[in-house]
Amino acid sequence: MTTDNPLLDFSGLPRFDAIRPEHVTPAIDELLAQNRAVVAQLEAPTGQVSWQGFVTPLEDSTELLGRAWGIVSHLNNVVDTPELRAVYNENLPKVTEFWTELSQNEALFAKYKALKDSAEFATLSPAKQRIVENAIRDFRMGGAELPPAQKERFADIQEEHAAVSTRFSENVLDATNDWSMVVDDEAELAGLPEDVKHAAKSLAAKNGKTGWQFTLHFPSYYPILQFADSRALREKVYRANATKASELGDVFSEREKWDNGANIVTLLKLRAEEAQLLGYKNFAEVSLVPKMAQSPEHVIEFLEDLARRARPYAEKDLAELADFARDKLGMDKLEAWDLPYASEKLQQHRYSFSAHEVKQYFPEHQVVNGLFKLVQNLFSVTIAPDEAPVWHKDVRFFRIERDGHLVGQFYLDLYARPGKNSGAWMDDARSRRVEAGRLQTPVAYLTCNFTEPSVIDGKVQPALFTHDEVITLFHEFGHGLHHMLTTVEELGVSGISGVEWDAVELPSQFMENFCWEWDVLSHMTSHVQTGQPLPRALYDKMLAAKNFQSGLQTLRQVEFSLLDMHLHYDYDPASGKSVQDVIDEVRGKFAVIVPPAFNRFQNSFGHIFAGGYAAGYYSYKWAEVLSADAYAAFEEATALEGGKLPVQTGEKFLREILSVGGSRPALESFTAFRGREPSIDALLRHSGMAA
């Protein structure tokens, strides 16, 4: 294949220093043509269908298209420009059309079924057998068994869905990037930590402004809600964030342009129609086909049970907060923009420390080195800096080795910036597989949105992470480990591929637990001024506060999960009931804190409207049951080993969970690690909600 176009060069790592928007369309067109030629050859009648003669060439071809389009999608997420967005949107329908055609190809579907029924199938490895079984399932879910007219409509739905989801995400990004606030009077910023003010001052200077500039990127706006004494300032920022990408958005001239209200309804209608075409009652049933959960009713029962367990704790949390706000802060009524501020003050009062105080002990280099040290000790690997072309000067690149052999590499893109989607995520640049006798090692993108290093008096200060941001980094690295430490060599079930969606959060949430272990934290903290590690007394206060407001936090996640499930289970957009009505019903049953009527959080709820979590947001709580129970095995082993890091348990977690990827059902992997099926007890104990 020609390598004049860097997007068509698969000889090594992506050439991010050379890729330009003008490369996208020629590369995608060439890869689509190549894939269609391969499909035409493979769908022709043949004799016996074999893995080597059928599955391998199909995987070889489609993998290259997936990798190239993955690079384009990644760049669109992290360095969005008008030119890149234009070519992304130009090519998205073509790529979507191809994958839909492939999923509906009756000849290929028939060959997979023939391979399943052949004598060869019994000789295939369990990983290959699972790939064949997954493919047959996916053909059925892709509409391969539909009559021609319905197939055509199904394809139209996929194309429109992809376009609307992209528009949803772009609206959120544009609304986020467009809003900013410049404060000229420093007195208005009373209560804000100095490093937050320095970052705002640096941003203003970078943009040629005087004063302090704030945006709707999380590291910029959230400290105002958490620390600013000015109630009016907190309200202004809360309203801007709660109404972005809605009909109530702050930018009056752009409200209609960026309002995601209609996009939400369109997506729900398209998903409902897709379910109907496939013979399901609702999209929730479609979503659960490749997941662990048995049915929407089963998920709702799980969530409502968790809500009932959490509700008394949430009510107690809120009552304590209201009493404190009234007695100590003079607030007779807590508004939504008061909650983070009052919670921070209550935590400081009760546990005698602040989030800002803790943050001083988590400079970026110390946190990253501490994370690497834990992973190296736990899984017997080494992590070292590596070299590769990157898409932004702040991105770093690393390699992971085990027994002297390369097992994976990853990009680390930590800071928030304009043109980068909010949130944190892991994505794969390429997956592990053996091709023509040569091992291809996996590569991951690890992306966060933390505050970049600030410049004070001409000197660059290290980026400081909140403890929550440390937890986020560990979470995403857990996903990365799942992708990179796999030993499976079959593409379709290597790493996170083929893992049930409601189990894919197990390794990520599992890694979060180490952020509360003294032996881990003591090696990843260093005060930004003194260099001293985190004091044991401060750690003890943090630990005492670990489950501060856990009832409220649990109920909030359950609320989001139930909203997602009901929107895709028993909501009819044609009924006259609005999405907001569904939200209000869920909150009426389970919430103890009801946001203001103007809150439009759903308009930027990218997980379910622009991500892969539609009728699947419950996965976070579902997988938390698995991760808490898995981590309990480490707690038990640590107790037996006198407090030492249980390396043998780490090796078992690597062997039974991380390395097997999607080559067997997630429940089998969990049971192989834990020796039994999962129990909710550890989650309730870790959350401070055990009976």
Q: What is the DSSP letter of 6?
A: G
Joined together, the tokens standing for residue 494 give 């290597």
d(C-alpha 32, C-alpha 90), whole Å = 14
Supply the angle between the helices 82-103 and 126-141 in degrees, to the nearest 10: 100
Burial class (CB in 10 A: 0-12, 13-18, 19+), 51: buried
Joined together, the tokens standing for residue 405 give 């052999």
Which of the residues 170, 364, 476, 624 is marked catalytic? 476
d(C-alpha 2, C-alpha 7), whole Å = 10
> Is 476 among the residues known to form the active site?
yes
Beta-ladder partners of 446? 412, 426
Tokens 């969970």 identify what position?
Answer: 657
d(C-alpha 241, C-alpha 250), whole Å = 9
Q: What is the DSSP letter of 515?
A: G
Count CA atoms within 13 Å of residue 335 on its CB side. Answer: 15
Joined together, the tokens standing for residue 174 give 């544009």
Q: Select from 559, 530, 567 the least CA-distant residue to 618.
A: 559
Joined together, the tokens standing for residue 287 give 């979503």
CB atoms within 10 A of CB 226: 22
Contact status, residue 324 vs residue 346, Cβ threshold 8 Å: yes
Cβ neighbours of residue 421 closer than 8 Å, sequence gap 6 or more: 77, 78, 80, 169, 172, 173, 606
Joined together, the tokens standing for residue 369 give 């080195």
* Helix residue ranges, H only, 454-513: 467-484, 506-512
Tokens 């959350």 identify what position?
Answer: 687
Tokens 């909150």 identify what position?
Answer: 587
Strand 443-450: give its sheet, edge to edge: 382-385, 396-402, 405-415, 443-450, 425-430
Q: Select from 562, 691, 684, 615 the least CA-distant residue to 304.
A: 562
Supply the angle between the helices 666-674 and 619-640 in degrees, to the nearest 10: 20
d(C-alpha 9, C-alpha 296), whole Å = 44
d(C-alpha 192, C-alpha 15), whole Å = 42
d(C-alpha 238, C-alpha 216), whole Å = 10
Which run of H or E residues covers position 214? strand 212-215
CB atoms within 10 A of CB 402: 16
Q: Select from 498, 568, 497, 499 the least CA-distant residue to 295.
A: 568
Count CA atoms within 13 Å of residue 438 on its CB side. Answer: 5
Contact status, residue 196 vs residue 305, Cβ threshold 8 Å: no
Which residues are catalytic, by number?
Answer: 476
